[in-house]
Amino acid sequence: MTKKTVKTKLRPLVAGNWKMNGTGADMKQVRALVKTLSGNHRYACDTMICPPATLLSRLAALRTSLKASRKLALGGQDCHAAVSGAHTGDVSAEMLKEAGASAVIVGHSERRSDHGETDKQVKAKVEAAHRAGLTAIMCIGESLKQRKAGDTLKVVGKQLRGSLPDGCTASNTVIAYEPVWAIGSGLTPTVEQVAQVHLALRKALQRRFGEAGSTMRILYGGSVKPSNADELMAVPHVNGALVGGASLTARDFSGILAAYKA
């Protein structure tokens, strides 16, 4: 069976969220990924790794030494809304920018559930990312209970409205739809379910932001892996992926990038 290459009008983004995983020993995975990106393989997508904050500056230095700054972007996993202050354990968007990040994930379901983050707080973090010159990768998604109740579009629509400030553009904002029940579970929605949500999000973005809403990338996340990447990335209005566990090894992550092989 011949592998099909996904084609899309918007330049896709495949971003790996390492979450609370990774030490210096795992930098070898980034070396291997850069080797793949620099080899004979050509992928028609942007590639990003979002490591723990402890590795960000080290990976930025590694990327520079490998002359891969244009091949691999780096992002943070969260930021505080303030520039600085008495916020022990937090990291500002400006700090992430200085460490080598060009983007930051905000509003991930694990932040919303583990730390009780509200749409209002996520919105403030999106604004902080913009203030620092970072692209905000803003996450939304429904729980299994909400999915079963038929409230998916209502839930993600509310999150989208409440978490995005005015002034969002294709260059400073990316949306990531991650059904909470699919993250790390091995379960994925059907292609039809993904298509329904992404179309609804696209229409909502267009209504609010006009032409800019037509060009913002909408990523799909939730148990994305090499075996289902082709199918998921081919869904209309899916402009890439936010990848969790499969981004921890260069082999699996490259298998997902292969959906966009040029």
Select which of 80, 108, 130, 198 is catalytic.
108
66 DSSP 8-state letter: T
Residue 198 a catalytic site member: no
What are the start-end ranges of the H helices in 66-134?
A: 93-99, 109-114, 119-132
Are 103 and 136 a contacting pair, CB within 8 Å? yes
Are 18 and 250 a contacting pair, CB within 8 Å? no
User: For residues 119 and 125, what is the distance between their CA atoms, to the nearest angstrom?
Assistant: 10
User: For residues 207 and 201, what is the distance between their CA atoms, to the nearest angstrom?
Assistant: 10
Select which of 117, 178, 198, 237 is catalytic.
178
Are 224 and 241 a contacting pair, CB within 8 Å? yes
User: For residues 80 and 82, what is the distance between their CA atoms, to the nearest angstrom?
Assistant: 6
- Angle between helical axes of 250-257 and 27-38 (0-180°, round to 10): 40
User: For residues 243 and 247, what is the distance between their CA atoms, to the nearest angstrom?
Assistant: 6
Are 199 and 156 a contacting pair, CB within 8 Å? no
User: If you write DSSP's letter for every residue of 155-215 in order, what string do you get?
Assistant: HHHHHHHHH--TT--TTTEEEEE--GGGTTTS----HHHHHHHHHHHHHHHHHHHTHHHHH
- Type and span of the H or E element at 243: strand 240-243
Residue 237 a catalytic site member: no
Residues that are catalytic = 108, 178
